Structure 1
């Protein structure tokens, strides 16, 4: 990408029976300044556009960069469906279609053909029912790229990263090790510098226990694991705050003190983020050798095919991907 061309984004439609194809159609109908390349089944995209009452001008992707994309124009990298789609009814026969979309997007980013990938929501259960173990986009891309990654959820006002993601709560304390925290914090720090342009990122680290352990009276993880690790990383130059009690870390007076938060587990911080910015929150995978953003919602099967699904999260994910791509190109 250069100053004369648009950021070239791969956009995957996600679960074909969900709202992803319709959201992609609405994105394509906008005049957003990006070279959008839909990775999906061409016929499915036509169905989705019809459901939304949108007329799209579709063309095969030729791999060439462009300087302008008129609203409603979209290039497509065709990935055929495994079975016809009935909106709202996922079919495991389309699991390999979904995986092929993700593989094409990742490989295109790795070989430089795309500047970023933006992903629509997938139905994990449907993929697993097809006999393919699948825990999510993040893990898929990490394995494809051979990278260690961290999940970030970002809104215009708050960035939250996670030390652990989809673990049962009972398994979290044993997972919070010095090695995990150091790896996670180094990825977050590097990503905030390289991707978000922060010269000295300030990261607030939450405690695991109520009141951040209350000096060891409500749990020893802070005293034995978190505090010693933070002190060592601070001595190495990282700007780390905490461990902070999760119940006060997000109050307005605290927000100006940090650029991002590291939470110890999934539901420690995400309810705060989603309750205040659900439609504008973006899932970002840190640590990959390419940019990946995603909607922060599910497949909404009950809305699929109605044309009523709200595309706000996909627009937010695409805008952030554009910003990150431009920043990376300028670095």
Structure 2
């Protein structure tokens, strides 16, 4: 195989250094042969990762590289592209001084995928409070990546959060906003644009020729035809009707309390929910350790574990790498470089 035909590696951003990003990355790499993981490199502070590996008692050899194309030349080593801004280790102790390195890892990973040096970006979780204390002003990872990609490409993009697991795929139409702000933010155009992005990316990146979309209501019982709130009839139903006229396979608005039992889930490929917890509660309840966060609507492939930084578990060896492994494997499959699905890939 020529050098030009070797699949580009995955870029992994370290995330919050006081959390479990290093833990799950190291644990997954320690099992790389059994898991048949795609080639990958970590964007991180090598000294911080080395200290975490020692703390965890993991015999993982680390190597610093200067460019992504050096990745994987010796498969015994976890390759690390070093940060300019250093990270202190301190498991369980978030420090705003680490924010520059955390953002740098995301920025560099995004640029490398856009430039074609990496095939996809897998992001470890960030601590938004630590970033906010350092001046970060984005609601979350998803929104930051959308703005970053827009700035780098000159083309605005709408990020769509997809939580996908073995039994359920969900999309929250509104994402990181207070629940009290959802009714005002929920517009017909937002539902339409979200559904179009979901259908397009499920087709182009997941191979579903005509995805089946199920749209939830906002209010109890999907509003009882206007008796319990107006949004279901005034905003959601008209959007669903427009999508039908455009040729989409879509139903709704459906009561949120009857959408997620097994028989209901068999009738759709993805559920479009009206707010964050309406989507994430069923997704994480059904498969917390196997669910992956995928950002649709971007010019890059981005996946992430579905959990947070779990700072209370950092450095203890108790953090399970299941969701990280699933995120890496899904990113590889979406980029056309991963192994097939493996039901035994979960690290219990």
Q: TM-score, normalised by structure 2?
A: 0.89
For residue 262 of structure 2, give the secondary structure of its aligned residue in structure 1: coil
Correspondence for 2:53 among 49, 59, 65:
49
For residue 263 of structure 2, give the secondary structure of its aligned residue in structure 1: coil
1:203 and 1:260 in contact (8 A); partners too: yes
Query: Does residue 1:132 correspond to 2:136, yes or no?
Result: yes
Query: Does residue 1:23 correspond to 2:24, yes or no?
Result: yes
Which residue number in structure 2 is paired with residue 105 of structure 1? Answer: 109
Deviation at 1:66, TM superposition (A): 6.8
Correspondence for 1:84 among 83, 88, 103:
88
Deviations 1:99-158 (A, max 9, x none): 100000010111111111111111111111112323221111100111211111111111
Query: Does residue 1:199 correspond to 2:209, yes or no?
Result: yes
1:95-174 aligned within 5 A: 95-146=99-150, 147-174=157-184
1:217-256 aligned within 5 A: 217-256=227-266
Alignment RMSD: 2.1
- 2-side partners of 1:209 and 1:241: how far apart? 16
Query: Does residue 1:293 correspond to 2:303, yes or no?
Result: yes
Correspondence for 1:62 among 64, 67, 73:
67
Query: Does residue 1:266 correspond to 2:270, yes or no?
Result: no
Distance 1:183 1:120, change over 3 A: same
- 1-side partners of 2:222 and 2:228: how far apart? 8
- 2-side partners of 1:194 and 1:2: how far apart? 27
Instruction: Give the gaps of 5 or more residues in structure 1.
Output: none
1:10 and 1:118 in contact (8 A); partners too: yes
Deviation at 1:81, TM superposition (A): 4.4
For residue 68 of structure 2, give the secondary structure of its aligned residue in structure 1: coil
Q: TM-score, normalised by structure 1?
A: 0.93
Distance 1:181 1:126, change over 3 A: same
Moved more, 97-106 or 72-81: 72-81
Deviations 1:245-300 (A, max 9, x none): 11111111111210000000011132111112111111110001010000111111
Instruction: Give the gaps of 5 or more residues in structure 2.
Output: 151-156, 339-348
Count of aligned residue pairs for this structure pair? 327
- 1-side partners of 2:55 and 2:240: how far apart? 52
- 1-side partners of 2:336 and 2:261: how far apart? 32
